[in-house]
Amino acid sequence: MYGVLSKVDIYWTWDASKRTGAFMARIDELRLMTRVARLYYEKEMSQSEIARHLGFSQATVSRALNRARGDGIVRITISVPNGIYTKLEEQLIEHFGLRDAVVVDSIRNDDEQLVMRELGAAAAYYVESAIQQNEVIGLSSWSSTLLALVDAMHTIHRKSGIKVVQILGGVGNPAAEAHANRLTGRMANLVNGEVVPLPAPGIVGSAAALQAFLEDRYVLQASALFDQITMALVGIGAVEPSELLAESGNIFSADELGMLAEKGAVGDILLRFFDANGAPVDTFLNDRVMSMSLEQLNRVDKAIGVAGGMRKYDAIRGALLGKWINILITDQFTAKSLLAAS
C-alpha cells in the first residue's frame, strides 16, 4: 500500500498550580521529552545529532522519544489523500488473507477499457517498487491489463539476474501472437532481463498434442522454470473470454465453455478454471492447456492478480477464495463489492 502522508503533532500542557517537588521533577522530564521530540520531528535531526547537541547519550534520547509517544506528547496521525483507499486495502488483506492489496481510484467500473488502463498504471508502479535482484517473473499472455501494466512501466535500473518467463502459451493468431511477444519482450527490456518464451499454443488440440509440446526443448526450458517463479503477474478472466483472448484463437469451443459453466466455473487464471469457492473445475480440458498450474501459482512468493470491473467480479472473488493469488490490484467498486458480499 502506498500514497499515505503522515503528520506529527507535539503537545505539552501542564497546570502551574501543581508545582510540588515531585511534580517539578515531572515537569523537567516532560520538558526534556518535548525538546527532544521537537528536534527529532520538527527539525528533522537524527537521534545521534540530538544527543551531541544536548550532551546526552543516544540511549537517553531514544528513551525520551519513546516516552513522548507513550505519554501522548507526540501524536502521529495519518492524513489519507483523496483517491487513496487504505482502509479498503487493509480490509481486503485481512478478510481474504492476502499479502497485499492495491485499490485503484476509478471513475466507473462498467468501462472495461478505462478500468484496464487505471489498473495497469497502478500495477506498473507496484511492480517497479516490488521487483528484486534475481527475480524470476512469470508473465501471462493474452491480457490487455498486463499489456497496460507494461506500457505504463518505467525502466528499472540497478537490478540484475532477472528472468521474464512466459507462463501461458503464446502461439495463436499471428496478430494476437505479436501481443504476447510485445508483452514479454517489453517487460524484459524494462527490467534488463532475459526473456524465456513458451513457444506453444495456450490450448492445444488434444492431450497427446500437449505431451508432444512438453517434450520440445524450448517448451521444456520455460516450463522447467515454473517452480522457480518468484513474482507472477496474471490476469483473472471470466468464463466468457475477453475480446483479446477470443482473437488469439486460444479459446475453448462454445460447447466446451457451456460444459465449464454447467460444472460451476466462474473464472480462470492461465486458462485454469475454478468455481465460485475457488475450487478447481477438473475436466479433460485441463489436459489441453499449456500453462503454469494453479498449484504452482499458489506457491509463488508474490502472485499478483490484476483485474477489475463488473464482468469479472465472480472470477476475482473465486480467485481470492481459492487462494490462487496473494496480492490483488483492483478498482474501488470491485473492492467494495467483494467486502460487502463477505
pLDDT in tens, 220-276: 999 999 999 999 999 999 988 777 777 776 678 889 999 999 999 999 999 999 999
Q: Pick the more confident residue, 108 or 337.
A: 337
Strand partners, 280: 274
Give the span between the Cα atoms of 307 and 305, in whole angstroms. 6
Give the span between the Cα atoms of 22 and 44, in whole angstroms. 32
Q: What is the pLDDT of residue 6?
A: 57
pLDDT in tens, 57-103: 999 999 999 999 888 888 887 666 777 899 999 999 999 999 999 99
What would the DSSP string read from start to end of 34-54? HHHHIIIIIS---HHHHHHHH
Give the span between the Cα atoms of 311 and 108, in whole angstroms. 13
pLDDT in tens, 160-170: 999 999 999 98
Fold of 86-341: Rossmann fold (3.40.50)
Percent of the chain's residues with pLDDT above 70: 87
pLDDT in tens, 281-336: 999 999 999 999 999 999 999 999 999 999 999 999 999 999 999 999 999 999 99
Give the span between the Cα atoms of 310 and 317, in whole angstroms. 12
Compute the Cα dihedral for 326, 265, 166, 313 and give only its sign. negative
Q: Pick the more confident residue, 4 or 49.
A: 49
**Does the reported pTM lie above 0.85?**
no
Domain boundaries along the sequence of the chain: 5-79, 86-341
Strand partners, 177: none
Fold of 5-79: Arc Repressor Mutant, subunit A (1.10.10)
